[in-house]
Amino acid sequence: MSSKISDYAKEVLNNYYTALPMVYPQIKLMVYFDKNIESSKVNYKLSDKSSLNELYNRLSSNLPMYIQKGENKAGSYIEIDKLNEKIDGKLNLGTYLDYVKYPNTEVSYYVNDKMIGDSLISPSTKEIELSEFNEGDNSLSIVFKNANGFEKKLFYKVSKSNDYLKIDTLNEKEAKLLEEKKSDASKEELSENSEKESPVKSETVGKSTESKNLSSEEKLKVMIEGGFVKPAPGAGLEDPIKRVESLVFIIRVMGKEKEALALNDDEVESILSTVEDEKLIQNWARKYIAYAIKEKITLGVGSKISGMKRMDPNSMSSTKVFLTMLLRTLSYSDVEPENVYEKSKLAGLKAEYTDNKIHLKQIKRKEMAVLIYDFINNVKMPNSEGLSASEKELKTVLLDNEVISSDFISKYFSN
């Protein structure tokens, strides 16, 4: 029996002895016949393979859903959309699918469009802290995906009132409407905060700093106080930033937001029709993503479909990708992730951002803020060909476009 076939037998055995008790929690008996069927390509005979026998013994002795040792009842699951009760601290979810038909399928869980966990195990279980849900309506989505092209999404509305949860199943259209409603409310709140915090509106952000040689912590504080970095729901400064969030942030902070929002709906739909995973782009971000594609700020992450591209908006951005998009926004030519460190040095960024051995990792929100500070403070605009830096400073352009104020520049940036 080849190792590949043996591994497949173990995978199927593991699936049956975990999925079946979860789906049918009142099972009283499962019988395994230690006999090989001659017509089968897979040998499930335990006595022929010690590793298979060890797996069987482990699985059969560790089935918590069974009625054992005089217990009066077994554990049980209820269908998710029948939940309407008080939750004690955590919501325990279980998901499963036909492992034989859909092997090696990844399951990802999202609450309010924030990924809170994933798994390659079928069945998959996930504990979600009650604190992940806001008061009122929340979105919950579960995404199944494998390398063979299989993809399925389940959508739910989770209504929270104190410690009580009520869950309703949604179709894709209803889920999109819920996200639009939530994002519009969030956008309105951010807009109100921006009016209060923007350095354009306020000429007295923080205290004046005599020395412009700031530490990373001081740079971070400046960017927060200046309204460039705002808290995101469910995300802290130590958390990585999604590709879609980084694109929107770059367009805003580089003074391109008016151009992005000026795109008409027909143009946006036309541009996004070339995006394979267009349905993953939330309504509030569609114009920003369309603008980024139009201006070649992003080229996508590739697609198996001819003439299409993928945005992969919910994956996490790296420093390399973030820098690439920043420089493209300024119209530097021929910037690719492979040469972005040379291009960064050419534009005037400090040497600490030109070492590709350090910056292959995901970029955290606080690292993004510090990078933006250094970018504004040091980078110069490209020449007319976009091949080298001109004498014009980026901060002068941002001042002209009213992205930052003269008072903010004089207090916190080098002359």
pLDDT in tens, 127-178: 888 888 888 899 999 988 876 778 889 999 999 988 889 999 999 888 888 8
Q: Is residue 290 scored above 90 in pLDDT?
A: yes
Q: How far apart (Å, rounded) are the C-alpha atoms in residues 152 and 105?
A: 10
Residue 189 has a CB neighbour count (10 Å cut-off) of 12
Beta bridge partners, 129, equal: 90
Q: Could you tell me the pLDDT band of residue 289, with boundaries at 50, 70 and 90? A: very high
Confidence (pTM): 0.50
Q: Which pLDDT belongs to residue 381?
A: 92
Q: Sketch the domain layout of the chain as residue ranges.
A: 3-60, 80-177, 195-412
Q: Is residue 208 scored above 60 in pLDDT?
A: no
Q: Tokens 């694109």 map to which residue?
A: 247
pLDDT digits (tens, 9 = 90+) for 385-409: 888 888 899 988 888 888 888 888 8
Whether 336 contacts 258, CB under 8 Å? no
Q: Which pLDDT belongs to residue 271?
A: 93
Whether 81 contacts 167, CB under 8 Å? yes
CATH assignment of 80-177? Answer: 2.60.40
Q: Could you tell me the pLDDT band of residue 44, with boundaries at 50, 70 and 90? A: low
Q: Is residue 210 scored above 50 in pLDDT?
A: no
Q: How far apart (Å, rounded) are the C-alpha atoms in residues 39 and 404?
A: 74
Q: Is residue 297 scored above 90 in pLDDT?
A: yes
Task: Name the least confident of 49-58, 72-81, 182-191, 279-288.
Answer: 182-191
Q: How far apart (Å, rounded) are the C-alpha atoms in residues 121 and 95?
A: 10
Where are any strands of DSSP class E within 82-150?
Answer: 84-86, 90-95, 106-111, 114-119, 124-129, 136-145
% of the chain surpassing 70 pLDDT: 71
Overall average pLDDT of the 225-231 stretch: 71
Q: Decide: residue 411, CB within 10 A, 0-12 exposed, 13-18 middle, 19+ buried.
A: buried
Q: Which pLDDT belongs to residue 231?
A: 53
pLDDT digits (tens, 9 = 90+) for 330-373: 999 998 888 888 888 889 887 666 655 545 567 888 888 888 89
Q: Could you tell me the pLDDT band of residue 96, with boundaries at 50, 70 and 90? A: confident
Q: What distances in angstroms separate CA 24 from CA 29, 73, 93, 167, one per listed residue?
A: 11, 13, 15, 22
Task: Name the least confident of 14-23, 33-42, 287-296, 351-360.
Answer: 351-360
Whether 323 contacts 336, CB under 8 Å? no
Q: Is residue 68 scored above 60 in pLDDT?
A: no
Task: Name the least confident of 132-136, 175-179, 223-227, 230-234.
Answer: 230-234
Whether 120 contacts 93, CB under 8 Å? no
Helix, strand or coil, per DSSP, at residue 257? helix
Whether 297 contacts 324, CB under 8 Å? no
Q: When comparing pLDDT for 105 and 44, which is higher? A: 105
- Closest CA relative to residue 113, chosen from 145, 64, 155: 155
Overall average pLDDT of the 285-309 stretch: 85
Overall average pLDDT of the 284-292 stretch: 91
Overall average pLDDT of the 61-72 stretch: 50
Q: Which pLDDT belongs to residue 192?
A: 52
Q: When comparing pLDDT for 208 and 81, which is higher? A: 81
Overall average pLDDT of the 256-271 stretch: 91
Overall average pLDDT of the 78-98 stretch: 81
Q: Is residue 184 scored above 70 in pLDDT?
A: no
